[in-house]
Each structure stands twice: as C-alpha cells, then as structure tokens.
C-alpha cells in the first residue's frame, strides 16, 4: 500500500499484473484493515471464491440489471480519455497489449486535435517565407 499498487497473480492470461491505485481505491483497502495473510476480500468471514459471482450478487441486490463487471473497466478507460489522458497512457494503465484495444475510446476526446495543433503553434518561427495573417 505504501507504493499505491496491487499485484494480481491469477489473471486470465496467466501473467502477474501490478496495477497502480488511485486514492479512492487505497482508501477502500485501508478501510478493510491490516491483514498478515489470507484473502483480501471476504463475505461473512469467508474468502470470496468468485469475483464474478460476488459482483453479480451485489448488482442484483442493487437492482442494476444492465451492468456487467467489464463495464467498470470500460468506465475507467472512458473517464481517463475524457480527462485528457493520452491513449498510450490509458493503454498502459489498463494493461492493453496494443493501441488497437484502446482506440475504441479515442472518440471520447473530441478536442484531441485542437490540443495537438495548439502544441504545434507553440513552436512557431519566423522564417520570412510565409506571413501569418490570422488573428486566431
């Protein structure tokens, strides 16, 4: 927790994966209290055997019929892109292997080209070949 990271050792592709945690996630883990060993998440004192089953039970209890576990991941990626986080950074945070996977979120950053043009405008120079007559 000091490094604000968590490592998953049993992933769907059989590769360990370390993920950085936001402050809210760290607060959730801190609220669970310290543990020397054993499962992190429990229900009625027993380890949660299936995250999918636990999620579905919680979802049904709250009446969220059209919410899937993967929707949470999609929401994270969407919010990152909408906040201006570059797609390459989103790719790495989400653990995607290529930019192709994260491209589906590109449309959520409609002003990305404007930011790119502003960045190029910062490096303007006067070569004497073209006169800048725009007022914008």
Based on the fold, state whether residues 28 and 46 are members of the same structural domain.
no
Based on the fold, state whether residues 14 and 41 are members of the same structural domain.
no
pLDDT in tens, 30-45: 898 888 788 888 888 8
Residue 105's alpha-carbon distances to 2, 14, 27, 68, in angstroms, are 31, 26, 28, 18
Based on the fold, state whether residues 49 and 74 are members of the same structural domain.
no
Based on the fold, state whether residues 29 and 59 are members of the same structural domain.
no
Number of domains observed in the structure of the chain: 3
Contact 21, 5 (CB under 8 A): yes
Asked if pLDDT for residue 81 goes beyond 70, the answer is yes
In a domain, 124, yes or no: no
The range of the structural domain enclosing residue 20 comes to 1-34
In a domain, 128, yes or no: no
Question: Which pLDDT score, from 0 to 100, does residue 106 have?
Answer: 85
* Bridge partner list, 46: 43
Question: Residues in the chain, how many?
Answer: 136
Based on the fold, state whether residues 86 and 106 are members of the same structural domain.
yes
Tell me the pTM: 0.70
């Amino acid at each position: 927790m000091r490094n604000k990271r968590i490592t998953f050792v049993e992933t769907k592709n059989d590769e360990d994966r370390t993920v950085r945690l936001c402050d809210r996630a760290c607060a959730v883990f801190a609220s669970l209290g310290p543990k020397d060993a054993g499962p992190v998440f429990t229900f009625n004192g027993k380890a949660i055997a299936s995250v999918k089953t636990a999620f579905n039970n919680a979802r049904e209890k709250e009446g969220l019929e059209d919410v899937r576990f993967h929707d949470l991941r999609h929401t994270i990626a969407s919010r990152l892109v909408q906040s201006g986080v570059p797609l390459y950074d989103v790719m790495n945070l989400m653990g995607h292997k290529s930019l192709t996977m994260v491209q589906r979120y590109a449309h959520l950053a409609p002003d990305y080209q404007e930011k790119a043009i502003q960045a190029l405008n910062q490096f303007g120079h006067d070569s004497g070949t073209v006169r800048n007559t725009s007022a914008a």
